[in-house]
């Protein structure tokens, strides 16, 4: 099975061959590196930009408004914060021109903890990005979802922020990408650049197929009856493991992968909470003004009389950054035990 980095690479290849993507660019995105996480190796429209995040976003906006379809990369989301004013301009262009101008661009950026990246390579961006209207925002947790969401993003008439959980980029999926070869080693030989001299290397792309996951549609990962846990990105596998562990204790937990943060699948959330009466939201961004807090607020306002317990949130600590030491990183963002304990307590809470 492909890992998430390979899935993103194959989706971008499909998009430049079939969906009109014209420019895939960013710092070290082109040859010879093909991205610090190798997501852009071998792509024919990939090129290297200067080390200039504002230049990257500005160039993408200009290209998109000029009729191109760019996919820009900010190497780590920690460095996207100095482009917030530009992201706001991109997001409001279609609205402020009364629909006269569209901005068909995608911005990809790795987010979150999990690689011991310390202060400048571990931030999250989901809370900040969902504060900027005019963008669609997605964050996959599996290679197949990454492939399908990116193909959808590359067909949108207006901007999409594609958040890549860096801790999952090397994790293989349980479902095969359409057109991916059966042999994992064969896939690696076909599309992974060799170490050392790459000047003569060319990828041998598999015949990947169209597979678009609609933006705004969540995924029911596991059915349950006593509580619902809703997450995305790096913390999604933690929730799946917690539900499996609690099943052995006689507790039934429903698991939803949100996948899209804006628009998000409120109907799926609503149906699940009305069934279970209890809900836990989990992500690793800092807990103050967290995106999960918005979901908690809406759940209370619209589903109050369906609740058997107050909605809960497990999120990152409200600290300026994440330390390099293992103990500091693990104390700063949700870990397996945090999710399992919160779900166990929630399932046992009675009105």
Q: Which amino acids are annotated catalytic?
A: 121
For residue 82, with 0-12 CB atoms within 10 Å meaning exposed, 13-18 middle and 19 or more buried, which class applies? exposed
Q: Are strands 46-48 and 23-26 parallel, antiparallel or unpaired?
A: parallel
Q: Are strands 160-165 and 279-286 parallel, antiparallel or unpaired?
A: unpaired
The string of DSSP letters for 179-232 reads: T--S-HHHHHHHHSPPSS--TT------------PPTT--EEEE--SSEEEEE-
Position of tokens 């980095």? 5
CA dihedral 145, 146, 149, 154 (to 10 degrees): -160
Nearest one of 73, 5, 71 to 38, comparing CA atoms: 5
Position of tokens 């698991």? 255
Beta strands, E only, the chain: 23-26, 46-48, 70-73, 106-111, 136-138, 160-165, 219-222, 227-231, 253-257, 260-262, 279-286, 312-316
Nearest one of 318, 324, 315, 321 to 115, comparing CA atoms: 324
46 Cβ contact partners less than 8 Å away, ≥ 6 residues apart: 24, 25, 29, 30, 31, 34, 40
């Amino acid at each position: 099975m492909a890992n998430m980095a390979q899935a993103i690479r194959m989706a971008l290849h499909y998009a430049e061959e079939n969906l009109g993507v014209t420019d895939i660019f960013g710092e070290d995105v082109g040859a010879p590196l093909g991205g610090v996480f190798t997501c852009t190796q071998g792509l024919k429209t990939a090129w290297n930009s200067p080390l200039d995040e504002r230049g990257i976003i500005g160039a993408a906006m200009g290209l998109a408004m000029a009729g191109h379809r760019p996919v820009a990369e900010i190497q780590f989301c920690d460095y996207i914060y100095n482009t917030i004013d530009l992201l706001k301009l991109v997001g409001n262009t279609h609205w402020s021109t009364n629909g006269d101008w569209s901005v068909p661009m995608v911005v990809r950026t790795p987010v979150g903890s999990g690689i011991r990246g310390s202060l400048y390579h571990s931030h999250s961006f989901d809370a900040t990005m969902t504060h900027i209207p005019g963008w669609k925002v997605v964050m996959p947790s599996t290679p197949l979802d990454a492939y399908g969401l990116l193909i959808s993003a590359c067909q949108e008439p207006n901007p999409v922020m594609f958040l890549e959980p860096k801790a999952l980029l090397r994790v293989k999926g349980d479902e095969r990408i359409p057109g991916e070869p059966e042999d994992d080693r064969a896939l690696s030989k076909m599309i992974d650049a060799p170490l050392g001299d790459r000047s003569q290397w060319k990828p041998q792309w598999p015949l990947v197929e169209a597979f678009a996951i609609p933006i705004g549609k969540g995924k029911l990962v596991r059915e349950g009856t006593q509580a619902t846990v809703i997450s995305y990105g790096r913390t999604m596998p933690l929730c799946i493991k917690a539900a499996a562990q609690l099943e052995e204790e006689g507790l039934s937990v429903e698991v939803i992968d949100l996948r899209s943060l804006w628009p998000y699948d409120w109907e799926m959330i609503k149906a699940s909470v009305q069934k279970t009466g209890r809900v836990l939201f989990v992500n690793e961004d800092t807990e103050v003004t967290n995106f999960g807090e918005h979901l908690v607020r809406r759940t209370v306002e619209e589903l109050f009389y369906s609740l058997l317990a107050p909605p809960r949130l497990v999120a990152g600590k409200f600290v300026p950054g994440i330390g390099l030491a293992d103990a500091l990183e693990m104390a700063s963002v949700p870990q397996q035990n945090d999710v399992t304990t919160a779900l166990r307590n929630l399932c046992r809470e009675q009105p």
